[in-house]
Chain A
Amino acid sequence: MEAAAHAASQTDAEPRTYLNHETSLWEWLTTKDHKKIGIMYLISLAVVFLVAGLLAMAVRLELMSPDFSIMSASQYNQTFTMHGIMMVFLFIVPSIPAILGNFVLPLQIGAKDVAFPRLNLASWYVYMAGGVLTVTALLVGELSTGWTFYTPYSSQQGTAVIFMTGAIFVSGFASIFTGLNFIVTIHKMRAPGMTWNRLPLFVWGLYATSIVQVLATPVVGITMLLLILEQTLQIGIFDPALGGDPILFQHFFWFYSHPAVYIMILPAFGILSELIATFSRQRIFGYRAIALSSVAIAMLGFLVWGHHMFVSGQSAISSIVFSLITYLIGIPSGIKIFNWIATMYKGSVWLQTPMLYALSFLFLFTIGGLTGIMVGVLGVDVHLHDTYFVVGHFHYVMMGGSVIALLGGMHYWWPKITGRMYNETLGKIAAGLVFVGFNVTFFTQLVLGSQGMPRRYYEYVDRFAELHMISTIGSFILASGLFLVLGYALHSLFYGKKAPQNPWAAATLEWTNVAAIPDPHNFTSTPLVTRGPYDFHKADEVFGGSGDGQARGDGAGSDASRLTPPEAAPSAPKEDASA
Chain B
Amino acid sequence: MNDSGTFWLPEAASTVAAEVDGLFYFVYWASAIIFVGVVAAMIYLAYKYRRRDPNDRPEPVEESRLLEISWIVVPTILVLLVFTWGFQTFVTLQTAPPNAYEIQGQAYSYGWNFEYPEGAQTTDELYLPADRPVQIRLSSREGDVLHSFFLPQFRVKQDVLPNRYTSVWFEATEPGTYELFCTEYCGVGHSQMLGEVNVLPADEFDEWVAEAGINEDDLSLVELGELQYQRNGCQGCHSLDGSAMAGPTFQGLYESERAFADAGSVEADDNYLRESIIEPDAKVVEGYGSGIMPSFAHLSERDVTALVEFIKEQE
Assess A/B contact in the complex (Cβ within 8 A).
Answer: yes
- List chain A positions with a Cβ less than 8 A from chain B: 72-74, 77, 142, 144, 146, 148, 150, 152-153, 156, 158, 240-241, 246-247, 280-283, 285-286, 289, 310-313, 316, 319-320, 323-324, 327-328, 330-331, 334-335, 337-339, 341-342, 344-351, 359, 362-363, 366-367, 370-371, 373-374, 376-383, 385-387, 447, 450-452, 454-461, 535-537, 543, 547, 549-551, 554, 557
- Asked if residues B143 and A241 are in contact (CB atoms below 8 Å), the reply is yes
Contacts of A351 in B (CB 8 A): 46, 50-51
Closest A residue to B8 by beta carbon equals: A450
Q: Which residues of B143-161 have CB atoms within 8 Å of chain A's CB atoms? A: 143, 145-146, 148, 150, 152-153, 155-159, 161
- As a 0/1 sequence over residues 250 to 266 of chain B, the CB contacts with chain A under 8 angstroms (1 = contact) are 00000000000000000
Shortest distance from the beta carbon of B291 to any chain A beta carbon, whole Å = 7
**A452 in contact with B181 given A331-B79, A379-B89 (CB within 8 Å):** yes
B117 within 8 A of A: no
Within 8 Å CB of A367, what residues of B? 35
Shortest Cβ distance from residue A468 to the other chain B in the assembled complex, whole angstroms: 13
Query: Quick one: CB contact mask for B24-50 with A, threshold 8 Å, 1 for yes?
Result: 100110010011001101100110011
Interface size of B by Cβ–Cβ distance < 8 Å?
90
A373–B79 alpha-carbon span in the complex (Å): 8
* Chain B residues near A142 (CB-CB < 8 A): 289
Q: Is the CB of B90 within 8 A of A313?
A: no
B60 x A362 contact (CB < 8 A): no
Q: A348 to B59, alpha carbons, bound, how many Å?
A: 10
Contact B291 A158 (CB under 8 A): yes
- Complexed CA–CA distance, A227 and B67 (Å): 49
Q: Check if B163 sits within 8 Å of A379, measured CB to CB.
A: no
Contact status B57-A536, CB under 8 Å: yes
Q: Quick check: is B86 within 8 A (CB to CB) of the other chain?
A: yes
Known A311-B148, A311-B157, A379-B19: A153·B185 in contact at CB below 8 Å: yes
Given A240-B164, A363-B42, A458-B190, A153 and B146 contact (CB-CB distance below 8 Å): yes
Contact B67 A342 (CB under 8 A): yes
Distance of A472 from chain B, by nearest CB (Å): 17
- A-B contacts, 5 listed (Cβ < 8 Å): A246-B162, A335-B72, A348-B50, A387-B150, A458-B191
Chain B residues in 8 Å Cβ range of A557: 54
Q: Which residues of B contact A328 (CB under 8 A)?
A: 79
The 8 lowest CB-CB distance pairs between A and B, nearest first, are A379-B89, A452-B152, A378-B90, A377-B86, A348-B56, A554-B54, A457-B191, A370-B31
Residue of B nearest to A452 (CB): B152
Residue of A nearest to B185 (CB): A456
Q: Contacts A152-B162, A313-B164, A382-B157 known; A459 to B192 CB distance under 8 Å? A: yes
Question: CB distance A327 to B72 under 8 Å?
Answer: no
Within 8 Å by CB of B146, from A150, A334, A371, A374, lies: A150
B residues near A (Cβ < 8 Å) are 5, 7-10, 19-20, 23-24, 27-28, 31, 34-35, 38-39, 41-42, 45-46, 49-52, 54-61, 63, 67-68, 71-72, 75-76, 79-80, 82-83, 85-94, 142-143, 145-146, 148, 150, 152-153, 155-159, 161-164, 166, 179, 181-192, 194, 244-246, 289, 291
Q: From B57, which residue of chain A is reached at the shortest CB distance?
A: A547
Contact present for A386 and B291 (CB under 8 Å) = no
Q: Are B183 and A380 in contact (CB under 8 A)?
A: no
| CB < 8 Å neighbour of B27 from A152, A337, A341, A377 | A377
Nearest-neighbor residue (CB-CB) of B237 within chain A: A73
CB-CB nearest in chain A for B147: A153
State whether A374 touches B150 (Cβ < 8 A): no
Q: Across the interface, do A285 and B63 meet the contact criterion of CB distance under 8 Å? A: yes
Residues of B with C-beta under 8 A to A285? 61, 63
User: Is A282 a contact of B60 with CB atoms below 8 Å?
Assistant: yes
Note all chain B residues with C-beta closer than 8 A to A311: 148, 157-159
- Beyond the given A148-B185, A327-B83, A454-B183, could you list 15 further A-B residue pairs with CB under 8 A, ordered by the A residue number? A150-B146, A150-B185, A153-B185, A156-B145, A156-B291, A289-B68, A350-B51, A362-B39, A367-B35, A374-B28, A382-B20, A383-B157, A385-B157, A457-B191, A543-B57
Please, how many angstroms separate the alpha-carbon atoms of A346 and B67 in the complex? 16
Pairwise interchain contact A349-B39, C-beta atoms closer than 8 A: no
CB within 8 Å for A374 and B24 given contacts A152-B146, A320-B90, A337-B38: yes
- B215 to A: closest C-beta gap in Å: 32
B49 in contact with A312 (CB, 8 Å) = no
In the bound complex, how far is the Cα of B182 from the Cα of A77, in angstroms? 15
* Contact assessment for B185 and A549 in the assembled complex, using a CB-CB cutoff below 8 Å: no
Q: Is the CB of A240 within 8 A of B51?
A: no
Q: Which residues of B contact A148 (CB under 8 A)?
A: 185
* Alpha-carbon distance between A381 and B38 when the two chains are bound, in angstroms: 25
Instruction: Give bound CA distance, A547 to B68, whole Å.
Output: 30
Rounded to whole angstroms, the CA-CA distance of A547 and B23 in the bound complex is: 54
Instruction: Determine if A330 and B55 form an interchain contact, defined as CB atoms under 8 angstroms apart.
Output: no
| Contact with A386, one of B86, B87, B184 (Cβ below 8 angstroms) | B184
A535 to B, closest residue via Cβ: B60
| Contact yes or no, A366 B157, CB < 8 A | no
Contacts of A458 in B (CB 8 A): 190-191
Q: Across the two chains, which residue of chain A brings its CB closest to B91?
A: A316
B31 touches A373 (CB 8 A): yes
Residue from A73, A240, A281, A350 within 8 A of B161 (CB atoms): A240
For the complex formed, measure the closest distance between the CB of B2 and the CB atoms of chain A, giving whole angstroms.
Answer: 12
In this complex, what residue of A is CB-closest to B162?
Answer: A240
Identity of the chain A residue whose Cβ is nearest the Cβ of B25 in the assembled complex? A380
Q: A382 and B93 in contact (CB under 8 A), knowing A285-B63, A331-B75, A454-B183?
A: yes
* B189 cross-chain contacts in A, Cβ below 8 A: 73
Tell which of A77, A323, A383, A460 touches B152, judged by Cβ atoms closer than 8 Å: A383
Contact A338 B148 (CB under 8 A): no
| Contact A312 to B182, CB < 8 A, known contacts A156-B145, A323-B87 | no
Contacts of B5 in A (CB 8 A): 451
A383, B155: Cβ atoms under 8 Å?
Answer: yes
Inside 8 A of B60's CB, which chain A residues have their CB? Answer: 282-283, 535-537
Residues of B within 8 A of A452 (CB): 10, 150, 152-153, 179, 181
Please name all residues of chain B whose beta carbon is closer than 8 Å to the beta carbon of A536 when the two chains form the complex.
57-58, 60
Q: Can you name the residue of chain A whose Cβ is closest to the Cβ of B150?
A: A454
In the bound complex, do residue B38 and residue A348 qualify as a contact, i.e. CB atoms below 8 Å apart? no
**If the complex has contacts A379-B86, A382-B93, A386-B148, are A349 and B162 also in contact, measured as CB distance less than 8 A?**
no
From the candidates B31, B42, B183, name the one contacting A344 in the complex (CB within 8 A).
B42
Chain A residue contacts of B55, Cβ below 8 A: 543, 549-551
Look across to chain A and name the residue whose beta carbon is closest to the beta carbon of B46: A349
Residues of A within 8 A of B20 (CB): 379-380, 382-383
When A144-B187, A330-B75, A537-B60 are in contact, do A377 and B8 touch as well, CB less than 8 Å? no
- Chain B residues with CB under 8 A of A349: 45-46, 49-51
Q: Are A341 and B82 in contact (CB under 8 A)?
A: no
A456 to B191, CA, bound (A): 8
Give the distance to chain B from A486, nearest Cβ to Cβ, in Å.
27
- Taking CB atoms, residues of chain A closer than 8 Å to B51 are 281, 348-351
Known: A379-B89, A386-B183. A77 touches B156 (CB 8 A): no
Cross-interface CB contact of A153 among B54, B155, B187, cutoff 8 Å: B187
CB distance from B151 to the nearest CB of A (A): 9
A90 to B152, CA, bound (A): 34
Assembly CA distance A327 to B161 (angstroms) = 28
- Return A49 CB to nearest CB of chain B, in Å: 24
Q: For the complex formed, measure the closest distance between the CB of B118 and the CB atoms of chain A, giving whole angstroms.
A: 28
In the bound complex, residues from chain A placing their C-beta under 8 Å from that of B71 are 334-335, 338
Contact partners of B194 in chain A: CB under 8 A: 461
- Cα of A337 to Cα of B93 in the assembled complex, Å: 34
Q: Is the CB of B61 within 8 A of A346?
A: yes
What is the CA–CA distance of A280 and B80 in the complex, to the nearest angstrom? 34
Residues from chain B with a CB closer than 8 A to the CB of A385 are 157, 183
Determine the distance from Cα of A349 to Cα of B47 in the docked complex, in whole angstroms. 8
Contact partners of A374 in chain B: CB under 8 A: 24, 27-28, 31
Q: Which residues of B contact A386 (CB under 8 A)?
A: 148, 150, 157, 183-184
- Distance of A363 Cα from B38 Cα, bound (Å): 8
